[in-house]
Each structure stands twice: as structure tokens, then as C-alpha cells.
Amino acid sequence: MRKIKQAVILAGGQGTRLRPLTNNTPKPLIPINGKPFVQYILENLKENNIREVVFLVGYLGDKIEEYFGDGSKFGLKISYSYSPIEFDTGSRIREARKLFDDTFLLLFCDNYWPLDLKELLKFYNNVGTPASVTIYKNFYNYTINKIKVTDKNLVEIYDKTGKSAGLNGVDIGYFILKKNLLRNLPKENFSFEKVIMQKLITEKQLAGFMSSHKYYGLSNLERIQDIENYFKPKNVIFLDRDGIINKKPPRADYVKSWDEFHLLPHALEALKLLTKQNYDIYIVTNQAGIGRGMMTEKDLQTIHKNFLKICNDNGITIKQIYFCPHDWNTNCECRKPKPGMFFQAAAEHNFDLTKALFIGDDDRDKIAGEVAGCKTYLMKPNSSLLKKVKSIVDPRILI
């Protein structure tokens, strides 16, 4: 099992699309909620037990070193490789390769993605290629697709223009690379993406790790608001509906009408407590009755409208209700145990799923929550949501 202890961050660009913010400030230091953007990346690396970072700097690189120093104030060991401003990404890597571990993580300074290094390494070790890149699936058309990954997890096409057929994702960095791939590099100025990456693709040595977690790219001024919203501290919790908030009818996994919607004891008290503790509450529910023709979406909307009125009358705020309307046998991405509803909520409301909680009541919930990266709790039959919520907001209370 290969391990990674070092991250290399490309941080030499001029950030021209972020003018005037980058006139006197390098892109990695653009403040987001009072903290440099790249600091969020460093903190995420540290959460994944990476303690050594190499910055490949160019434009205003001295300001990056002035801010982070040797990294000791941040619990890291940070070093710097300086190269001319006009150097492209490949040239910066060539000049710094002596500083790299035999296997390392390569990142772009302007892309944040909630790294789970254990999962990334598990994929890398299983696929067996000397290099991998992280690919955002781009379900919600956050940007244009630029890469094609085959069903065997190999990157087949990289097209920065996004015009090739069959593209199915966006390369966001977070490469795992072996140092020996960096031999015999061009002596002239060159791009990592155009030379090294394309060579790896041609030789079938680059695997694509597909992720549904939205990434946040500091690429233009228009995206800064979303980035700031993403990094604002939030308490986020997902709740299953039937069996958690309301009584689940026998021999069915859906409630067909408002007359069948019966709140479980203390459910409102649990929701009140979560609202009081400033949790953003999302409900995720499978509603196969729609797909099976047993009810309509209008029926479901009536149920939810009445439920939300009760919540509002009791001072409870539900951020949003997400539901899967498909039949049990439909191979959709939203029906639990698939995690599509979680990823949709995170993409629409700009929060980090890996810092969210989920309470469900069966194995489908457990699988969906864990795949989404949420801390997941399963309630036992006839147990109290209020008691579970109290144990979360105040761990001193025993379940």
C-alpha cells in the first residue's frame, strides 16, 4: 500500500482573470472570508495527515512565502521553488522535481475539493497506474467537460476546449504521481497538461478518479461569492423522512396522502432543537409511489406543503426537501442507496458534505450517507429522533 506524505502545489500563475484583485496579490492569497484561499487547501491537506508541502511559485511568490513561512505556524513543513513568471506549469515542475517524494500529490492552487486521501489512495493502489487525476462528474453543469474517462477508469481524452465527443468530467487536479514519470522532460518552456499529461494518456498510464463532490475553482471574479458561501461555517444535517419524522406505513416505503402522514412522537421537538442550534435541515426521501403510479407529484407536494406549515407554525425551518420520484427498479442516481440527492443539495446550497450529518433508519440510508461523505447515524426501530438529536448537539447525553 503506497502512502503519501507530500503535496506539491502549482502557484506561479498571474491570475489575469482575477484582476484587479491580483494586481498586487498572488491568486493563492486572495482572501475568502478573511483567510487566503490556499489556506483552506492546506488545512484540508493537514486533515488528511499530509504534513509537507512544496509551493511552486512565480508571480509574487515572495508574498506567499512571507505569509506562510516555513509552515510551522500552520503545523506544516513548507518549502518553495521559485521560477520565472513566464514559466508554464511543466517547467515549474521540471525545476523543482528534486524536492519531490517518490510518490506525491500534485494540486493547483486555485482548486479546492474536499480531499479524502484514504479513498483516493485506495483507488490509486487498486487501479495500478503510475498516475491518477481527480475528475468532477459535473452533473449540474458547473463548467464544461474537458476529459473522458473509460469504464476501466483510464483517461482517454483531455481536451481543454471541451469540443471532443464523449467527455464526461472535469479535471480538477489532485494528481497522484510517481517522481520517475518526470524524467527526460523538455528543456524549453512547456505545459504539464499538454506534454506530461498527454503522454500519460497516450501510454494508458493515467487513471481518472471520478467524484461527485463539487469543486470550487478560484478562476474568475464571478465565482468568489459561491466560494465564500461554501467556506462559511455551517451546521448541516440531512434527515430521512418516513420512519424518522413520520410513521412509515406497513408494507410500503411511502405515504400516499396527507391523511397517512402521522408525525412520530417528539419529532417536532427534535426539529425545534436543531433549528435552535442553527442547523440547516434537509430532508431526503425515496418516494417510489410516484414512479409506481400510486400517487402523483402533486399529492406529494400537498403532503410537504402541510408538513412545512406545521414546521413554520412551530418555529422550525426546513431548508429544503429533496425526493426521488422513481420506481424501485429505475437505475437513477437519486434513489437511496445512491447519494444523488445529497450531492444535489450540496451543489445547490454550497456546503461541504464531508462536514454534514445524516440520520436515517435502514441500510440504504447508511450506504447513501457514507458514499456522500456524511457522518451517518442509523436509528433503531421505535427509537426517538429527539434523543438522537440531543446526543449529537450535546454528546454528554447518552443514546
> Does the pLDDT at position 399 exceed 50?
no
Residues forming beta bridges with residue 280, ordered by sequence position: 236
Task: Compute CA distances 242 → 30, 92, 307, whole Å.
Answer: 45, 55, 13
> Does the pLDDT at position 319 exceed 70?
yes
pLDDT band at 398 (very low <50, low <70, confident <90, very high): very low
What pLDDT is attached to residue 251?
61
Comparison of pLDDT for 249 and 79, the residue scoring more: 79
Cell (9 digits) for 327? 420506481
User: What would the mean pLDDT of 269-281 be, rounded to a whole number?
Assistant: 96
What pLDDT is attached to residue 149?
96
What pLDDT is attached to residue 328?
84
E strands in 121-214: 131-136, 147-149, 155-158, 170-171, 175-178, 206-211
Domains and CATH numbers, the chain: 6-230 (3.90.550.10), 233-393 (3.40.50.1000)
Lowest mean pLDDT among 83-97, 187-201, 258-272, 380-394: 380-394
CA 367 – CA 376 distance, rounded (Å): 9
Q: 218-227: which pairs have CB atoms within 8 A and are 24 or more residues apart?
A: 218/18, 218/27, 218/30, 218/37, 218/110, 218/111, 218/112, 219/17, 219/18, 219/110, 220/17, 220/18, 221/17, 221/18, 221/21, 224/30, 224/32, 226/350, 227/32, 227/37, 227/112
Amino acid identity of residue 122, one-letter, is K
CA 392 – CA 398 distance, rounded (Å): 10
> Does the pLDDT at position 396 exceed 60?
no
pLDDT band at 142 (very low <50, low <70, confident <90, very high): confident
Lowest mean pLDDT among 244-258, 315-329, 378-392: 244-258
Answer whether 213's CB lies under 8 Å from 11's CB.
no
pLDDT band at 13 (very low <50, low <70, confident <90, very high): very high
| Rg of the chain taking only CA atoms, in angstroms | 24
- Please, what's the largest Cα pairwise distance for the chain? 75
Catalytic residue numbers read 240, 242
CA 107 – CA 43 distance, rounded (Å): 14
Answer whether 134's CB lies under 8 Å from 211's CB.
yes
Amino acid identity of residue 341, one-letter, is M
> Cell 478562476 appears where?
219
Cell (9 digits) for 358? 445524516
Percentage of residues in the chain having pLDDT higher than 70: 97
Residue 340 sits at φ, ψ, to 5 deg, of -55, -40
What value does the mean pLDDT of the chain take? 93
User: What would the mean pLDDT of 339-365 be, rounded to a whole number?
Assistant: 95
What pLDDT is attached to residue 165?
93
What pLDDT is attached to residue 249?
76
> Does the pLDDT at position 307 exceed 80?
yes
What's the count of helices (H) and strands (E) in the chain, helices before strands?
A: 12, 19
Q: Give the model confidence (pLDDT) of 238-256 as tens digits.
A: 999 999 999 987 765 678 8
What pLDDT is attached to residue 117?
96
What pLDDT is attached to residue 235?
96
What pLDDT is attached to residue 113?
97
Give CA angle at 352 (347, 353), nearest 5°: 85
Q: Give the model confidence (pLDDT) of 21-41 as tens digits.
A: 999 999 999 999 999 999 999
Q: Tell me the pTM.
A: 0.91
Helix-, strand-, coil-residue percentages of the chain, each rounded to 5? 35, 20, 40
- For residue 9, give the H/E element and its range: strand 6-11
Alpha helix segments (H runs only) across 196-321 = 198-202, 224-231, 267-276, 288-291, 297-313
Task: Compute CA distances 175 → 1, 16, 81, 132, 181, whole Å.
Answer: 17, 24, 19, 5, 12
Those residues whose C-beta lies under 8 Å from the C-beta of residue 187, and which sit 6 or more positions away, are none
